[in-house]
Amino acid sequence: MRLADHRVVITAAGRDFGRTLAIRLAELGAEVFLSARRLDAAERVRDEIRGRGHERVHAFGCDLTDPASIRAFASGVERHTDHVDLLVNNGSRWLDGPDLLSATDDDVVDTVASGATGTVLTVKNFLPLLLNSDKPDVVTMVSACGTAGHDRSDAHAAFYAAKSAQAGFAEILSKRLRPQGVRVMSLYPPDFDNGDPLSEEWGTTRRTSGSTLTAHSLVECILFAVTQPRDCFIKAFHFEQG
């Protein structure tokens, strides 16, 4: 599976699953435009990827709670390319604590803004570049917390609110952008094992029916969806929680 003709934007790629996805897609030949709230974090991942011989990777700072920062990110990417084939909305602040009173007001605002408002504005600002592509896809890493009735996470209620907003946005966007050829897909994973994609364990970790869901499997779900023929619109991946 090769992505040599894909230009990919990934938010919150300075660590964790965003870093994993940036590394794996670059290894498959994609040109990657990655962002992190702190530019130095994005640059570390960029340099890590380039150190493995993949030169087509670019780093940007982007604070998903700041509309001006999102606009600057999109403008920066536009200076490198006239189109984007895949936008991955990976950014959303994690906030834990089952007690509503455990978080400050600023924590709540930051969590909801990064996950909900940040996702909406990122798609809005990158949509012109996506529409210039002949294979535009939008993938959003939601969470099991974004599904109705889910209550098995220790996440704060603000995180649940942000993820529910992402889910609702992706649902309506899937219908409204389909006539323009844009596929909108969402992943709803429970807690998963985000092993280092550069470690030996990446390819040897057991992935059986009794195992914890892995980042490796999530990457393969995304690759499966975006490499399907254009008449195949996979709207969502839902996962059983062990």
Distance CA 27, CA 7 (A): 13
Three-state SS at 84: coil
| Per-residue model confidence as pLDDT tens for the chain (242 residues) | 689 999 999 999 999 999 999 999 999 999 999 999 999 999 999 999 999 999 999 999 999 999 999 999 999 999 999 999 999 999 999 999 999 999 999 999 999 999 999 999 999 999 999 999 999 999 999 999 999 999 999 999 999 999 999 999 999 999 999 999 999 999 999 999 999 999 988 988 989 998 999 999 999 999 999 999 999 999 999 998 77
| Strand ranges for the chain from DSSP E | 7-10, 31-36, 57-61, 86-89, 137-141, 183-188, 236-238
pTM above 0.75, yes or no: yes
| Number of domains composing the chain | 1
Range of the domain at 84: 7-238
Whether 161 is in a domain gets the answer yes
Q: CATH number for the domain including 228?
A: 3.40.50.720
Helix (H, G, I), strand (E, B) or coil at 81: coil
Cα separation, 235 vs 32, in Å, equals: 23
**Which residues face 188 on adjacent strands?**
238
| Domain contains 115 | yes
Would residue 2 count as lying in a domain?
no
